[in-house]
């Protein structure tokens, strides 16, 4: 696996084993709600599942036990970075096997967590980059106006004062509405993504890839791979040396492709297991004997 070294990443000393960085989207890539499991085998043959998220006292998200075991091993052999569109609060509900990741990307790159705490300098840097885009209030107002009277809109939400999204009834969503929203948003510097029951409107400069590149810079990782299922993950996959996306989701549905990114046939939680297995194998060579956590500096931006 080959990848460009991120700008500003220090060259490792001669003889230093290569360190891999593996970035993974969470929802519908590595973890799955009950509605998204996509199990197609008889109940008696279904894989054993591990609950990795509880919300309001109820189980919410799952992985197969096989995927959970592989992910725990993966975290000991590389820098593993959860990279999610979730807010910090939503991310902290997830309990991945292998323990908390030293670094995590939340709010689609708006927050970089270091040992569970948001790096304020990174967030300030991100917010400065959004100045060229239409303000969030303008986008929120348009979302309300464009969806007024629509019985398909269940909730209006704002994530960490960085972007907006709607929770919708997909069965009643007008067929051209998302495309019309994207056409309105693009000249204003915003991106639109439909993921499950959510329609996201996100500023263009707000990307997972930028935050993951910062983690690579801090840790000295020289090889990267990534996985995701939505158009908001496309930049992350393009920036990686190797990537995967499942047989469901926006990327699969739109026919998106890149030479170094593998489109998997598996769907649902089976795809999640396949992705973790691929990540595990990709990170198997070149990691140092000291383990990736020895490379965790816990530093802040700059």
User: Does the domain spanning 133-203 belong to CATH 3.30.420?
Assistant: no
Q: Give 298: exposed, middle or buried? Use CB within 10 Å, 0-12, 13-18, 19+.
A: exposed
pLDDT at 196: 86
pLDDT at 5: 36
Q: Residue-wise pLDDT tens for the chain (302 aa)?
A: 333 333 334 444 444 568 999 999 999 999 999 999 999 999 999 999 999 999 999 999 999 999 999 999 999 999 999 999 999 999 999 999 999 999 999 999 999 999 999 999 999 999 999 999 999 999 999 999 999 988 999 999 999 999 999 999 999 999 999 999 999 999 999 999 999 899 999 999 999 999 999 999 999 999 999 999 999 999 999 999 999 999 999 999 999 999 999 999 999 999 999 999 999 999 874 444 345 554 554 444 44
Intervals of CATH 3.40.50.1000 along the chain: 20-128+205-285
pLDDT at 16: 52
pLDDT at 10: 45
CA dist 64 and 228 (Å) reads: 17
Intervals of CATH 3.30.1360 along the chain: 133-203
pLDDT at 18: 80
pLDDT at 301: 45
Contact 32, 62 (CB under 8 A): yes
CA end-to-end span of the chain, whole Å?
A: 29
pLDDT at 147: 95
CATH number belonging to the domain at 20-128+205-285, selected among 3.10.20.30, 3.60.150.10, 3.40.50.410, 3.40.50.1000: 3.40.50.1000
pLDDT at 296: 57
Whole-model pTM: value is: 0.87
């Amino acid at each position: 696996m080959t990848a460009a070294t991120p700008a500003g990443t220090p060259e490792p000393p001669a003889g230093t084993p290569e360190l891999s960085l593996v970035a993974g989207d969470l929802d519908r890539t590595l973890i799955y709600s009950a509605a998204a499991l996509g199990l197609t085998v008889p109940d008696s043959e279904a894989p054993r599942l591990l609950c990795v998220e509880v919300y309001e006292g109820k189980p919410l998200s799952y992985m197969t036990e096989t995927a959970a075991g592989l992910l725990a091993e993966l975290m000991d052999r590389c820098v593993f970075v959860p990279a999610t569109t979730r807010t910090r609060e939503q991310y902290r509900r997830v309990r991945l096997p292998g323990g908390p990741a030293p670094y995590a990307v939340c709010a689609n790159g708006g927050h970089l967590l270091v040992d569970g705490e948001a790096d304020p300098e990174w967030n300030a840097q991100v917010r400065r980059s959004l100045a060229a885009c239409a303000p969030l209030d303008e986008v929120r107002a348009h979302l309300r106006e464009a969806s007024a009277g629509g019985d398909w809109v269940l909730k209006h939400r704002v994530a960490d004062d960085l972007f907006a999204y709607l929770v919708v009834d997909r069965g009643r969503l007008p067929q051209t509405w998302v495309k019309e929203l994207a056409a309105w948003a693009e000249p204003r510097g915003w991106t639109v993504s439909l993921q499950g029951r959510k329609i996201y409107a996100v500023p263009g400069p707000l990307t997972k890839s930028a935050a993951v590149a910062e983690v690579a810079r801090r840790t000295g990782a020289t090889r990267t791979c990534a996985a995701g299922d939505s158009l908001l993950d496309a930049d992350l996959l393009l920036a990686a040396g190797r990537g995967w996306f499942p047989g469901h989701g926006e990327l699969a549905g739109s026919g998106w492709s890149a030479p170094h990114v593998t489109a998997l046939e598996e769907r649902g939680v089976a795809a999640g297991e396949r992705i973790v297995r691929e990540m595990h194998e990709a990170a198997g060579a070149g990691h140092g004997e000291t383990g990736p956590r020895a490379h965790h500096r816990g530093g802040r931006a700059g």
